A and B are shown apart, each in its own frame.
Chain A
């Protein structure tokens, strides 16, 4: 009985949902819309539950890190375990009163916003260092890529046009015509691959989709 629940029932449910969703997209039969809306609402609810489970999992992982005193990490986990419930509580108070708590606002504006932007900005330094070290014309292909990359960079920067008015012309051509066929090929093949994967999953040939381990 448990095998039926673990295997066949999952297959059947997945197949039914997939067929309904595919039909609703490709056929204009209005009668199916309420069913698809309901399925999508369930998916939304499941996802929201997953966020809650994710929060519990996060607390457990960081609690273990503190318990084991993992060098260089445990105190960061401690920070998380202090601020996580604190901000959750303040958020719940906000929800009840419908007002923005000044402390909550302060933390977001002065810690979260600044931290987030700094993290993103730092990648610019890594990219610069990586471009200097790794962007080498080792082959003719690499040389072509390098030249195209430099032209597109100078197209994006106003100084490129000041140096030579041809940079934006060539750069725009590369963006409009040079890369579009390759990107279009990539998107279409990826979509075809996804369709093939979907069929394989429905036929039970992709076990990873069902959580794996089902023989």
Chain B
């Protein structure tokens, strides 16, 4: 009898698992828990780098994630851009990861009032250059000759005519790179901007990037790392503006706990049936 129950537990129908997860994910949105988020040293380091920016410093934002990774990378990117705007630094934006960089940039701007109000002006304070493929070569080329890569912005203004671009021609004119991506673009910025030109690089990645990112944090190649939605929630806490990542953290809590409990139950059942066998 008991082995029958244990057998059923180990071979539970996947549809039941899907429904349990669905309910566990949905409940916090209906009734928020609001558990506190502690700030990890890597997120704190990212905040410190952004906080040390001075008025007029140039920050490069590489949007190298598609809409599918919005839930993980977008909140952190928004929080970092808010800090850039707050510090009155200049922002250069482009993407090499996916072609939907424009829609992601529009989404970031829509969440920051300074863009809508016109206090942070295109051309004077920020420039958007859109998408280009071949990540590694492009980043390498941009490091020494930005104008050879982007001759115009997405609205057709010549790079030479954009006021904020007058004194910018590559890595040596950049204070901080924010690489927001789901893959290897952060590596390329480290390889061609950080190592030769000592430009500070911060990584806003999906949670899976944390293992690679930690390696670069320890070696001093990265100044900060926001890991997935958790990193975004930490940055929202640090800048004092809770957003979507903070909201999502309750679902992260319940779903992660569910996975851990499920794995424990499955293993107890597995070990019990193995012992009997």
Q: Give chain B residues whose Cβ lies under 8 Å from the Cβ of A119.
A: 68
Query: Contact at B215–A159, with CB atoms within 8 Å?
Result: no
Contact B266 A156 (CB under 8 A): no
Per a CB cutoff under 8 Å, which of A48, A116, A160, A172 touches B133? A48
In-complex Cβ contact of A146 among B134, B145, B267 (8 A): B267
- Within the complex, what minimum Cβ distance (angstroms) separates A155 from chain B? 9
B105 at the interface (CB under 8 A from A): no
Across the interface, B18 reaches (CB within 8 A) one of A51, A125, A135, namely: A125
With a cutoff of 8 Å between Cβ atoms, the chain B residues found around residue A154 in the complex are 256-257, 260
Please name the residue on chain B nearest to A28 by beta carbon.
B196
Indicate whether A113 reaches chain B with its CB closer than 8 angstroms.
yes
Taken together as a complex, chains A and B put the C-alpha atoms of A129 and B14 apart, in Å, by: 6
- A184 lies within 8 A of chain B by Cβ: yes
Across-interface contacts of B219 in A (CB, < 8 A): 184
Of A40, A157, A161, the residue contacting B140 (CB under 8 A) is A40
Question: Given the complex of chains A and B, what is the CA–CA distance between A154 and B257 in angstroms?
Answer: 7
Known: A116-B68, A160-B256. A136 touches B266 (CB 8 A): yes
With contacts A98-B156, A133-B266, A136-B270 taken as known, whether A156 is within 8 angstroms of B215 at the C-beta atoms is: no
Chain A residues, CB < 8 A from B218: 176, 180, 184
A125/B67 in contact, CB under 8 A:
no
- Residue A61 at the B interface, CB < 8 A? no
Q: Is the Cβ of A108 less than 8 Å from the Cβ of B103?
A: yes
The smallest beta-carbon distance between A98 and chain B, in angstroms, is 6
Check B21–A124 contact: CB distance below 8 A.
yes
Closest partner residue, chain B, to A171 (CB atom): B40
B134 pairs with A132, CB closer than 8 A: no
Q: List the count of A-B residue pairs having beta carbons below 8 Å apart.
A: 150
Contact residues on A (Cβ < 8 Å of other chain), bracket: 35 or more
Please tell me the size bucket of the interface on B: 35 or more
How far is it, in angstroms, between the C-alpha of A117 and the C-alpha of B65 when the chains are bound?
12
Interface membership of B117, Cβ < 8 A: no
CA–CA, A51 and B96, complex, Å: 13
Would A158 and B21 be within 8 Å (CB), given that A44-B141, A113-B67, A113-B103 are in contact? no
CA distance A184 to B211 in the complex (A): 10
- Interface presence of A33 (CB below 8 A): yes
**A131 contacts across to B, CB distance below 8 A:** 259, 262-263
Contacting residues, chain A, for B264 (C-beta < 8 A): 150
Q: Please name 20 further chain A to chain B contacts, defined as beta carbons within 8 Å, in addition to the given A108-B103, A128-B255, sorted by A numbering.
A: A25-B196, A41-B141, A43-B137, A44-B133, A47-B133, A48-B133, A113-B70, A116-B66, A117-B67, A120-B71, A133-B266, A136-B270, A153-B259, A154-B256, A156-B228, A158-B37, A158-B252, A159-B256, A162-B35, A175-B211
17 residue pairs from A and B, CB less than 8 Å apart: A120-B68, A128-B21, A128-B258, A129-B18, A132-B12, A133-B266, A137-B271, A153-B259, A154-B256, A157-B230, A157-B257, A159-B253, A160-B256, A175-B210, A179-B211, A180-B214, A180-B215
